[in-house]
Amino acid sequence: MFKIPKGKEVPLGCVTPAPVGEQPMMITGNWREFRPLLEPEKCDLCMNCIVFCPDACFQLDDAEEKVVLNEKYCKGCNICINECAPGALTAAYELDFDDGVVRLDKPF
């Protein structure tokens, strides 16, 4: 009888281990063509970006009173740029930056 070692059991179909903070099995940062670029002096902390981001990429840094973007999961939908009330976010072409994208071997 074939025995599966404990802790190595195959999960049920479509079930992935519950992420504690981030989901490392679904990194979507390389879907991005344009990234949102924040101008801190224009930002009035209305937090529209935090509410509207479908991937919860924006987080409020309480200590420094600013919003920070998690580029690992931002897929460049640019909804935040549409919703930003003071217009502090602008779209920037991804090839203008040297970093910020997680380079994956396979698409998924």
Partner 1 sequence: MASKVHQVTVWARGVVQDKEGRDIANGLARAAGQEGKFTQSFDNYVDLPDRVNVPLRKYARISDEEIEERYEYENLHPEVVIVADATIVKGIDVLRGMEKGGTLVVATDRRPEDILKFIPNRDLLGKIVCVDAKAICGDRTVDFSGSEGGVDSVGIGQGISAPILGALARGSELVKLDHLDAVVKNKDALHKGHEQAVVKTLN
**By CB under 8 A, is residue 95 in contact with partner 1?**
yes
Site for partner 1 in 43-72 (CB under 8 A): none
**By CB under 8 A, is residue 6 in contact with partner 1?**
no
Return the amino acid letter for 1: M
Among 1, 19, 30, 37, binds partner 1 (CB under 8 A): 30
Minimum CB distance to partner 1, residue 7 (Å): 28
Q: Tell me the DSSP string of 6-62.
A: TT-PPPPTT--PPPSSS-TT---GGG-SEEEEE-TTT-----HHHHH-TT--EEEET
Which residues form the interface with partner 1 (CB under 8 A)? 29-33, 75-77, 93-95, 98, 101-108
